[in-house]
């Protein structure tokens, strides 16, 4: 990143994890923050360099979501945990770049699978170039991440392969859904662990593996990463029902209306046998989801889970908007939403419990604050 870039455009520990300067008041803690921020600049410079291919279309498509922004949470965790060892070593910087590029690749593929219209405030890649180009752009990014990792040794190659496998399994299991006899809630949590927790866990493990930090910290940070990833996604389920679109960046109930499975909906299904209100809410959700899909089919546009919509679809479903807004309010006020929030807090507590073997100091302090912020956030 250009050293002269405006501070607001730079990634930093504060921007990535929401950790303000007041949290780190001592000279030692401020040196810690500066070291992480310096490492992030190296990562950002390398991302622009690494996502460079042989032709213009490959460059334009693969850099598209990188240019759209992102908080670089995964590289930040790697650099933060690396302070338990030698800090931003070349291996740490390379692994952080590979993890972020892997994350970017997964977004391209996820948006095709979900038929999302928007990502990071811009039209999704397949909306701009079509499904085939978006898939190939994701494939190119996965390949480039593997190329970076190949220079870090066999252990890194195995870690990348295992992570990629879990990302694919998570998407597969989400697509297929629970099989007969499976607990739908346990299945959902497993999907979150694979699709989100695995890559955050990998970012955390890399912070130990390539910094020379004591290897006994490897298992604790891996567990922290996976569990905080699950907590993050569960809070997203709550945020989907928020009536503060200015904060969340999308309409309340966007996932609900698109028929996306979330934990509040799973809790409603679990309660429907004995809870008349839950049963009624489920029936109304199904009716509006079906009506939205029928309107989308007629207009030739699929509903989106990213807050965007087409004019034909919006016009075709406008008569449902007031009714749906009231339905979202009722789900938000139902006890299933608070149960989801409590479950997210439970996973965050377990993530923090995993950090017990780490020494007291700025790394543990930052990870603790990050876990708190994950479950406190409203967007």
Tens digit of pLDDT for each residue in 72-130? 889 999 999 999 999 999 999 999 999 999 999 998 888 888 776 777 778 888 888 78
CB 254 within 8 A of CB 334: no
pTM for this entry: 0.86
CB 262 within 8 A of CB 239: no
Q: Quick one: which of 315, 329, 312 has its CA closest to 251?
A: 329
pLDDT confidence tier of residue 313, bands split at 50, 70 and 90? very low
How far apart CA 371 and CA 352 sit, in angstroms, is: 7
**CATH, domain range 24-213:** 1.10.600.10
Residue-wise pLDDT tens digits, 172-209: 999 999 999 999 999 999 999 999 999 999 999 999 99
Report which secondary-structure segment, H or E, holds 353: helix 335-354
Report which secondary-structure segment, H or E, holds 226: helix 218-239
Q: What are the domain boundaries of the chain?
A: 24-213, 226-374
| The predicted structure's pLDDT at residue 172 | 94
CATH architecture of 226-374: Orthogonal Bundle (1.10)
How far apart CA 50 and CA 257 sit, in angstroms, is: 38
Residue-wise pLDDT tens digits, 243-282: 876 565 567 788 888 788 999 999 999 999 899 999 999 9
CB 330 within 8 A of CB 281: yes
Beta bridge mates, 123: 118
On the question of a common fold for 24-213 and 226-374, the answer reads yes
Sign of the CA dihedral running 118, 120, 121, 122 = negative
């Amino acid at each position: 990143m250009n050293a002269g870039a405006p501070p607001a455009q730079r990634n930093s520990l504060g921007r990535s994890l929401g950790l303000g300067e007041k949290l780190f008041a001592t000279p030692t803690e401020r040196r810690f923050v500066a070291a992480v921020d310096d490492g992030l600049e190296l990562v950002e410079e390398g991302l622009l360099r690494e996502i460079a291919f042989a032709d213009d279309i490959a460059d334009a498509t693969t850099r598209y979501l990188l240019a759209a922004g992102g908080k670089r949470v995964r590289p930040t965790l790697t650099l933060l945990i690396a302070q338990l060892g030698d800090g931003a070593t070349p291996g740490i910087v390379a692994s952080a770049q590979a993890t972020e590029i892997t994350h970017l690749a997964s977004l391209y593929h996820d948006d095709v699978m979900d038929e999302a219209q928007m990502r990071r405030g811009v039209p999704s890649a397949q909306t701009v170039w079509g499904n085939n180009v978006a898939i190939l752009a994701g494939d190119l990014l996965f390949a480039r991440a593997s190329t970076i990792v190949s220079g870090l040794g066999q252990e890194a190659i195995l870690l990348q392969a295992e992570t990629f496998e879990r990302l694919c399994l998570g998407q597969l299991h989400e697509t297929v859904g629970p099989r007969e006899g499976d607990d739908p809630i346990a299945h959902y949590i497993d999907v979150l662990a694979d699709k989100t927790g695995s890559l955050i866990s990998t970012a955390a493990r890399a912070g130990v593996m390539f910094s020379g930090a004591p290897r006994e910290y490897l298992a604790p940070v891996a567990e922290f990463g996976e569990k905080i990833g699950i907590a993050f996604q569960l809070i997203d389920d709550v945020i989907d029902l928020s009536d503060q679109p200015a904060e969340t960046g999308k309409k309340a109930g966007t996932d609900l209306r698109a028929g996306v499975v979330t934990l509040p909906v799973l809790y409603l299904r679990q309660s429907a046998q004995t809870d008349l209100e839950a049963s009624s809410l489920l029936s109304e959700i199904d009716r509006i989801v079906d009506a939205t899909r029928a309107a989308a089919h007629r207009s030739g546009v699929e509903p989106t889970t990213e807050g965007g919509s087409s004019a034909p679809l919006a016009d075709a479903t406008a008569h449902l908007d007031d009714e749906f807004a009231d339905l979202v309010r009722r789900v938000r006020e139902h006890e299933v939403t608070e149960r989801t929030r409590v479950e997210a807090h439970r996973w965050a507590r377990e993530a923090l419990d995993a950090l017990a073997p780490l020494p007291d100091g700025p790394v543990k302090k930052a990870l603790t604050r990050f876990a708190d912020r994950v479950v406190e956030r409203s967007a």
